[in-house]
């Protein structure tokens, strides 16, 4: 991993207007994505992980907007992009995406070949038989047998795992620098999940891609990620190298998240689950967003938003527990078992 950021998010705020109310979906997030790394963004549903990556491609829903902050890529500030013309210089060409549900992310009326060729025509500037040849080669790259025959079939003739391979082939056809995988295995059978993860990992190495995984499956994270960012209520609460976040987590939310791993459950006992619900993003959040669900929350957690404390040069967490004056709170003992039991 280089230490050179390829994409740099600074103090990003994203808001949505929903039925006349305003929702603050991304709250002052800063994040550097380094060239060649694989970053996993984890967090529960609604924590803003998808929205964050959508802002990189201008794919936010119509009712959402970037309120402030910047997204620096290649000397340009993507947060200032307005027109579709500007975004077309980024979409596919620089950043490509693999969506969650392969059953719906292909056009049912077009052959697999045509859909890959569409991306090839846009980003490799070849059409006709040459584009078709490249599409077939890509299909074979992503592990589809009989690619020539398969390229002339329609999505409904493919299984879910095969379709996800096709979606990955489309992303590869764009020749991107950054690949965003939005829960690429959530909708798949467990047996297929591992295959797809391996495929993505192999392709990422082959094409030297920078990858962002969005997931709430910590097993996936352990498998693929160099770095992990933990999101809660539209904010990154902890970020660090995968082993740092797994074995030396600092934020109470990360502790809670890790404690709920089924691997750590004891047979016969209930699995750990985090009490309460995430805060409403319709209201401004005061202090640490996780405080109301944290039984060990400090008084200051309810009053002032903690800054990002540096744990190591690569590991940061947004919690008052890291303040020099804070009382010493130990992580839940169950997390010690993580170190013994190699994850996944």
Partner 1 sequence: MVKYVFKRLALSVLTLFIVITIVFVLLRQMPIEGYFDNFEKLSEAQINVKLANLGLTKPIPAQLWDFYAKLFQGDFGTSTRYSVGTSIAGIIAQKAPLSIQMGLMSMALSLLMGIPLGAAMARSKNKFWDKFGTVFIVFINAVPAAVYYIFIQLYGTDWMHISLLFDRTNWITWILPVFSMSLGSTASYAMWLRRYMLDEINKDYVRLARAKGVVSQKIMMRHVFRNAFVPMIQYIPASILYTISGSIYIESLYSVPGMGGLLVDVIGRQDNPMVQTLVMLYSAIGIIGMLLGDLLMAVIDPRISFVKKEGAR
Residues found near partner 1 in the complex (CB under 8 A): 57, 59, 84, 88, 90-93, 96-97, 99-101, 104-110, 118-119, 122-123, 154, 156-159, 162, 167, 170, 174
For partner 1, the closer of residues 117 and 238 by Cβ is: 117
All residues at 6 or more sequence positions from 12 whose CB lies less than 8 Å from its CB, including other chains: 26, 28, 29, 30, 52, 55, 66, 68, 69, 70, 71, 79
Q: Which is nearer to partner 1, 106 or 249 (CB)?
A: 106
> Measured from the CB of residue 111, what is the shortest distance to partner 1 in angstroms?
8
Minimum distance between the CB of residue 12 and partner 1, rounded to whole angstroms?
19
In this structure, the number of other CB atoms found within 10 A of the CB of residue 197 comes to: 19
DSSP 8-state symbol, 179: E
Taking the chain, what is the end-to-end CA distance rounded to the nearest angstrom? 23
Between residues 210 and 259, which has the closer beta carbon with respect to partner 1? 210
CB of 30 to partner 1, least distance (A): 24
Q: CB of 226: closest distance to partner 1 in angstroms?
A: 23
Helices (runs of H) and strands (runs of E) counted in the chain: 11, 12
- Tell me the two tokens of residue 241: 């190298």
Nearer Cβ to partner 1 (102/278): 102
Smallest gap from residue 31 Cβ to partner 1 (A): 20
Cite the DSSP H helix spans in 11-109: 49-57, 84-88
Q: Residues 23, 16: contact at Cβ < 8 Å?
A: yes
Nearest distance in Å: CB 32, partner 1: 23
Burial class (CB in 10 A: 0-12, 13-18, 19+), 30: middle
Would you say 59 or 72 has its CB closer to partner 1? 59
Give residues with Cβ within 8 angstroms of 264, minimum separation 6.
258, 272, 334, 335, 337, 338, 341
- Name the residue nearer to partner 1 (CB basis): 35 or 93: 93
């Amino acid at each position: 991993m280089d230490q050179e950021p390829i994409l740099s998010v600074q103090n990003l705020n994203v808001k949505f207007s929903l039925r006349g109310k305003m929702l603050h979906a991304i709250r002052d997030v800063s994040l550097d994505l380094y060239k060649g790394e694989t970053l996993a963004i984890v967090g529960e549903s609604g924590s803003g992980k998808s929205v964050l990556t959508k802002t990189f491609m201008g794919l936010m829903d119509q009712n959402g907007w970037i309120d402030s902050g910047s997204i620096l890529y290649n000397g340009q500030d993507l947060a200032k992009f307005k027109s579709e013309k500007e975004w077309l210089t980024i979409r596919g060409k620089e950043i490509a995406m693999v969506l969650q549900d392969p059953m719906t992310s292909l056009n049912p009326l077009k052959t697999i070949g045509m859909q890959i060729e569409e991306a090839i025509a846009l980003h490799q500037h070849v059409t006709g038989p040459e584009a078709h040849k490249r599409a077939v080669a890509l299909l074979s790259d992503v592990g589809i047998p009989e690619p020539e025959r398969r390229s002339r079939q329609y999505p409904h003739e493919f299984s879910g795992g095969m379709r996800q391979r096709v979606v990955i082939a489309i992303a590869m056809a764009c020749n991107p620098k950054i690949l965003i995988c939005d829960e690429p295995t959530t909708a798949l059978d467990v047996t297929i999940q591992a295959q797809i993860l391996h495929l993505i990992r192999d392709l990422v190495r082959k094409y030297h891609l920078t990858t962002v995984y969005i997931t709430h499956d910590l097993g996936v994270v352990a498998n693929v990620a160099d770095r992990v960012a933990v999101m809660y209520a539209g904010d990154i609460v902890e970020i660090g190298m995968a082993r740092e976040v797994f074995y030396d987590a600092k934020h109470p939310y990360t502790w809670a998240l890790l404690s709920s791993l089924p691997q750590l459950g004891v047979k016969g006992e209930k699995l750990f689950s985090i009490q309460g619900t995430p805060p409403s993003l319709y209201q401004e959040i005061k202090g640490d967003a996780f405080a109301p669900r944290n039984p060990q929350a400090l008084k200051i957690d309810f009053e002032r938003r903690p800054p990002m404390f540096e744990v190591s040069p690569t590991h940061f967490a947004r919690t008052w527990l890291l303040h020099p004056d804070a009382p010493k709170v130990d992580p839940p003992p169950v997390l010690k078992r993580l170190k013994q039991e190699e994850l996944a």
